[in-house]
Amino acid sequence: MIPIKTESAWRGTADCRACGIRDMVLFADLHEDDFNLIHAPIDDLEYAPGHALVRMGETATSLFTLRAGMVKLVRNTVDGRQRIVRVLRSGDVIGLEALMGPTYDSDAIALTNVRVCRLPLQVIQRLNRETPRLHQRLLERWHRSLKEADDWLADLNFGNARQRLAGLILKMRTDQDPALCTLFSREDMGAMLDLKLETVSRTLNAFVREGLIEPMDRIGRAYRIVDAERLSSPKD
């Protein structure tokens, strides 16, 4: 059994055949016989907000499939600041770089309560060798993750504060209801958008006053998008 970190709640080992989000994750293309190649346990884990699933520079031993919640990928800049390079959601894979090199290239920090399946690297490597379907899917995931990281930085670091924050709100719409979005702390949003905390708070409050968004909770994390068209083209 893989050692379980005490900061997490172990829910047992995952049944990949019966996974509720199997169609979204790495094993979607596996056939019944392919699952017989999985000899190491795949742990089902839960983490609280703020927990680091992996740290940049750590030896890569596992990949993680995100079953529920959101995780931020963070890198340190040359001037010592932290920069959020991407936000992962249900169905995304954490640690794909483990297939290309010996260490993780970003911190992966839980933004919300998250649930993940921890996939031992040796399991993925064996399936990668013996199952061409998974090999192709891994290549597709790797390419997509690079593109999404590039798009994330390009889209959210262009324009003024209003344009950046509006872009983030639209990106964070939920799959279940595009009129709803889930945000994070003002500090995290500032790190994503390269904006000061005060600027994020002031701009978000302005969007509420102008009727573009409506808060759905008291802590300022859940919002309803009232006017997506105006939010897509925010005035200066």
Q: What pLDDT sits at residue 168?
A: 93
How far apart CA 190 and CA 193 sit, in angstroms, is 5
Q: What pLDDT sits at residue 196?
A: 93
Which of 127-141, 149-163, 213-227 is the least confident region? 127-141
Mean predicted confidence (pLDDT) in 63-92: 87
Q: Letter for the amino acid at 139?
A: L
57: pLDDT strictly greater than 60: yes
- Calculate the average pLDDT of the chain: 81
Residue-wise pLDDT for 90-128, tens only, equals 888 899 888 888 999 999 999 889 999 888 888 878 777
Mean predicted confidence (pLDDT) in 35-39: 56
Q: In sequence order, which residues have a C-beta less than 8 Å from that of residue 217 and are 6 or more positions away?
A: none
Q: How many CA atoms lie within 13 A of 117 on its CB side?
A: 23
Residue-wise pLDDT for 16-27, tens only, equals 445 543 444 565
Q: What pLDDT sits at residue 194?
A: 87
Domains delineated in the chain: 9-156 (2.60.120.10), 161-232 (1.10.10.10)
77: pLDDT strictly greater than 60: yes
